[in-house]
Amino acid sequence: MTAGTANHETMLQCFEWYLPDDHGLWNWIAAQAQDLAAAGFTMAWLPPAYKGQAGDADVGYGVYDMYDLGEFDAKGSVPTKYGSRGDYLGAIRTLRGHGLRVLADIVFNHRMGADGEERVTAHVVNVDDRTVNDRTAIERTLDTVYDFPERDGAYSTFRWNWRDFTGTDYTANDGSTGIMRFAGKQWSDNVSHECGNFDYIMGDDVDVNEPEVVKELTDWGIWYTETTGADGFRLDAVKSIDAKFFKPWLTTMREHGNHPDFAVGEYWSGDVDELAAYLHDCGHCMTLFDVALHFRFEQASNNPDDFDLRGLSGATLLEREPDSACVFVDNHDTQPGQALESWVQPWFKPLAYAYVLLRDAQYPCVFFGDLYGVPHDRIRPMPMLNAMVWIRAHLLGDRVEEQPGDSAHSLCWCVAGEHPVCVVLNTSDTPIEREVTSEALASRTLVDICHAGAPAEMGKEGHGTLTCPAGTCSIYIDAADEQEMRDAIA
């Protein structure tokens, strides 16, 4: 077995939005663990595992009870969409047993599916500017009581009521909707300034500045970390959670269970200044998904004629704070039909994945829908994605050598090492040739794994010519490595 010269992480997002409600994901992903590890994946991001308001039809983000991992007959089912508590814990054990670190999806900032109502005094808030509200607070009947009768105090006796939240958006007695902030409560300060203040998203907004709430979330986190054995966390919608909350919470989690040592936050903004500011405010206690880079991919895929590839990573976290950037191409929120739809066009996906997997990004994430397809939308798996992951794990070195001659529609780089890798991106409508030079290529025969064609013979000084068809990418590896790669991904 060949081996690269660097230890490269590669994350798989192990779900997409339209998976069937058949309770089968935990067992299915466990059955893939050996193959995923062999392919080169090192981290598995699993979807939210606790009971949602829609029971086994909930994707996981309409959180009802974070202690119910598919164990109690609540919201119309015992299992979640993905399976039972036993299935979940078994999947984590299996994934970890094959060397994959497991990231648990943590959704803190909203609760849904309350068990009871109470009278609460609240101000109506301006949707477009949440810092503005009616001066007069009105008493309303709101769904803000969570006492989890089916669980009956197992694992925690904490009961939620309006004092544990900052606001809501639904009035129970008349069905009216609209953002309301509870009297005596304030939105958190260290959040996105979208709409004035973006503390509130939906449902009952958890008040992470309430001491009793912080204690409960910490107690839950200790229980969850020790119960599941998760190695890290994907933190949902952090733009709406006070940045000061996370550092002490994560510090505590790292003292328990498997001592989870990795966290990535989802801050949905294409503005790199916002992303960098949140990293600063949270004390760099987590990485962030590079949403800015995702939007660059989307723009390039939709308008290649006017997009300059030389600025592909401009104004992104990958450029600004590479040690804190978790790069991705698409995810469950960007896929067709979702509220944040911003799907990267299929023709450009190989180029985007080559950019995140075969350069120097530290934490690339592969989307389930790109690896396995999305039957709901007749989206096929992306060709060569398995090969890129394998090359990253088994061949890729750690020294990127940019090649001269880049243009608005062409990029070329080589990654030097014992097993050199050269990549050409071409968004023009004609084939191109790129001259490359690297000592690592001296006297080698390179083959393009993406396209059939004659091998590229490198001279004694490591100089040669690489070709790339129109509107695609070419990935060149040593001919001696190609057969092993083909055998591994067959």
**Would you please indicate which residues are annotated as catalytic (active-site) residues?**
236, 266
Question: Which residues make up each annotated binding site?
Answer: 109, 199, 205, 207
Question: Which residues make up each annotated binding site for Ca(2+)?
Answer: 109, 199, 205, 207
- DSSP strands (E only) in 196-260: 204-206, 232-235
Write the DSSP string, 389-457.
HHHHHHT--SEEEEPS--BTTEEEEEEESSS-EEEEEE-SSS-EEEEEE-GGGTT-EEEETTS--PPEE
Q: State the amino acid at position 484 in one-letter form.
A: E
Distance between CA 195 and CA 132 in Å, rounded? 10
DSSP H or E segment with residue 251: helix 246-253
Q: State the amino acid at position 77 in one-letter form.
A: S
Residue 237 CB-half CA count within 13 A = 18
Write the DSSP string, 57-123.
G--S-SEEETT-SS-S-BTTBSSBTTB-HHHHHHHHHHHHHTTPEEEEEE--SEE---SEEEEEEEE
Distance between CA 11 and CA 45 in Å, rounded? 7
CB contact at 8 A, 62 and 52: yes
CB contact at 8 A, 318 and 290: yes
Residues in Cβ contact with 444 at an 8 Å cutoff, skipping those fewer than 6 apart = 420, 458, 462, 478, 479
Question: Roughly how many angstroms between the first and final C-alpha of the chain, as a whole number?
Answer: 16
CA distances from 490 to 35, 38, 336, 390 (A): 11, 12, 30, 11
Residue 231 CB-half CA count within 13 A = 16
Strand pairing class (445-448; 432-437): unpaired
Q: In terms of residues, how long is the chain?
A: 490
